[in-house]
Structure 1
Amino acid sequence: MKASKLAYKPVGLALGAVSGMLAGALFKQAWKMLRHDDDAPDATDEERGWGEVVTAAALQGAIFAGTKAVVDRAGAAAIRSLTGTWPG
């Protein structure tokens, strides 16, 4: 395993935690803007319809995936600038 990839492992774990927290906050704000509701529905929320539940899940997934990609990419770029090699 390359040294840069090994060096990136703990950084990647920390960035994963940060991206999860950031994505959760972004989703909460996006849901408030879209639905004017503080709480997004859970899949088992009986009072919410299918459309609302599936829309919330799709939005949450997109925000989490996009945030993770941005944070992971920035972390890899930072490792490259420090070590001179891409951690992939």
Structure 2
Amino acid sequence: MRASRIAYKPVGMALGAVSGMIAGAAFKQAWKLIEGEGDAPDALDEDRPWAQILLAAAVQGAIFAVVKATVERSGAQATRRVTGSWPG
């Protein structure tokens, strides 16, 4: 295993935690824009219709995927700048 990959492991874990927090905040804001409500529906919300639950899940998944990819790619680029090699 290359040194850059080993060095990136703790950075990647920290970036994963940060991306989760960013994505969670972004989803809350997006849901307020979509539905005008403070809380997104949960799969076990008995009073919410299927369409609303599935829409919330799709939006949340898309936001998390985009934020995760953005943060991971930025972290890899920063690692390349510091170490001179790509961590992947």
Provide TM-score, normalisation by structure 2: 0.99
Separation of aligned partners in 1, 2:51 and 2:34: 14
SS in 1 for 2:54: helix
- Equivalent in the alignment of 2:42: 42
- Equivalent in the alignment of 2:54: 54
Residue ranges of structure 1 left out of the alignment (5+ in a row): none
SS in 2 for 1:67: helix
Separation of aligned partners in 2, 1:7 and 1:50: 44
- RMSD across aligned C-alpha pairs, in angstroms? 0.3
4+ residue runs of structure 1 moved beyond 3 angstroms? none
Provide TM-score, normalisation by structure 1: 0.99
What is the total number of aligned residue pairs between the two structures? Answer: 88
- Equivalent in the alignment of 2:78: 78
Separation of aligned partners in 2, 1:84 and 1:37: 47
1:61 shift after superposition: 0.4
Identical pairs, percent: 65
1:19 shift after superposition: 0.0
